[in-house]
Amino acid sequence: MLRLYDTRTRQLESIVPAGARVLRDYTCGPTVYRYAHVGNLRSYLLPDLMRRVLGRRNVRVVVCQNVTDVGHLVDDDQIDATGEDKMLQQARREGRSPLDIARFYEDAFRRDTAALNIRPPDHTPRASESIDLMIEMIAKLIERGHAYPASDGSVFFDAASFPSYGEISGNRLDALKPGHRIEPDERKRFHADWALWKGSDTAGELTWDTPWGHGFPGWHIECSAMSLRFLGEHIDVHTGGKDLRFPHHEDERAQSNSTVGHDVVSHWVHGEHLLFDGRKMSKSTGNVVLLSDIEAAGLDPLAVRLALLEHRYRQQMNLTWDTLNAADRTLRRWRQQVATWAESPSAALSTAYADRAMAAFDDDLDTPQALRVLRELEKDDSVPPGSRFETFLHLDHILGLDLASDIGKPPVVAVLPEGAAELLESRAKARESKDWPASDRLRDELAALGVKVVDTPEGQTWS
């Protein structure tokens, strides 16, 4: 059965309880104030793979994925975030209401995940529609001595009341230093306490009345309240990106456990960062790539999925246009192979190859090894075409690459525009003579004709 690396225990663990046929997963969903880039989308491939692998083992995974449409402030890397709500900030920039912004980018996120064949969650609660759940939870934390109200209508979690804080990230309370603020926050008992509810003097959008005063929820309490409501007090796995370990998941764990009196989440599993051209993908570095950019370049969106599968979920990955183009070529080749094999007599699944690939999936989602098994099978002429067909489609239930999509379609023959063949020949000669300026000029001329050229160790290829 599937084993994953547990961030809290620092070891591989079987995530399915003995005899269980249902597994509950909570995954932190999008903050819907902008388009999700491919680095964001990588995080959602993790629970999707988990569902697909366990589905082949007759274990149903119930996924709850929240939608953060309030309470996520600009300074979100601090234990107690400050600054403006990201929803309000973007609404002002675009001249639209926060609700319009939220629904627009939520819809865009759903389209992107669908294009990547990421199956929709079972539950998708919105933070703005779950305020009553948060108020009820905050009241319990105050009653049980884990939270306290302040005079301005804010409510803070008493960090010292949760001694095991830091088990996920290693950031223990006794080692945490006060933040960048010049003056200490007089409302707090301890500088590492964080706001469950933030008081606000002004009424407006994204604020509500509570027994403590007018205001809005903190980001961390949202996930605690929604996960307990939709998955209950025993959650098998909590997934998310590595950057959420601290403070978000530490705070969430403290809140949830303090509310119910025991460890709510059995396993914490985190995916690594995605780099693009050697740098972390972010707006500040100017290298954000959206799924729409991939499609505009003429690539299949599932080439992104295949490229991501080339690395294990908890390995840092450097994505480039070259790797995306290579993934697109592999995807198209496999689909053509599957369509060709479909014309052959049917044959039994190759259990030798299928079992090896499934063993790789079970071993901490070792997708690179599973793909190596497929490449080996593709070239193994001792396996009948009908068997290769069955095995590829069997494993595609997990890979999610739509490898059967070319079956029944006429073969596509690429035709070069007039004059392009001569330009390609000239460019190949220029590269042989190491005339790089001429090579670049010819690439641009080909691009103007609609021909994309990619250089590989075996020579140039075009599409």
Kindly give, in sequence order, each residue whose CB lies less than 8 Å from that of residue 148, ignoring residues fewer than 6 positions away: 142, 155, 156, 158, 189
Q: Is 223 annotated as a binding residue?
A: yes
Cβ(191)–Cβ(179) below 8 Å: yes
The CATH-assigned architecture of domain 3-271 is 3-Layer(aba) Sandwich (3.40)
Provide the pLDDT for residue 184.
76
Q: Is 262 annotated as a binding residue?
A: no
Mean model confidence pLDDT for the chain: 93
Q: Is 252 annotated as a binding residue?
A: yes
> Does residue 412 have a pLDDT over 70?
no
pTM of structure = 0.86
| Across 343-360, average pLDDT | 96
| Across 55-83, average pLDDT | 89
Instruction: Determine which of 55-59, 80-84, 437-441 has the lowest per-residue pLDDT on average.
Output: 80-84
pLDDT in tens, 208-262: 999 999 999 999 999 999 999 999 999 999 999 999 999 999 999 999 999 999 9
Cis peptide before 247 (omega within 30 of 0): yes
Nearest in space to 113 (alpha carbons), one of 67, 62, 155, 165: 67
What's the rounded Cα separation, in Å, for the pair 456 and 59?
42
Cβ(396)–Cβ(402) below 8 Å: yes
Q: Is 177 annotated as a binding residue?
A: no
Domain-wise residue ranges, the chain: 3-271, 275-399, 420-462
pLDDT in tens, 183-199: 678 899 999 999 999 99
pLDDT in tens, 9-27: 999 999 999 999 999 999 9
| Across 89-105, average pLDDT | 94
Provide the pLDDT for residue 71.
85
The SS3 call for residue 37 is: strand
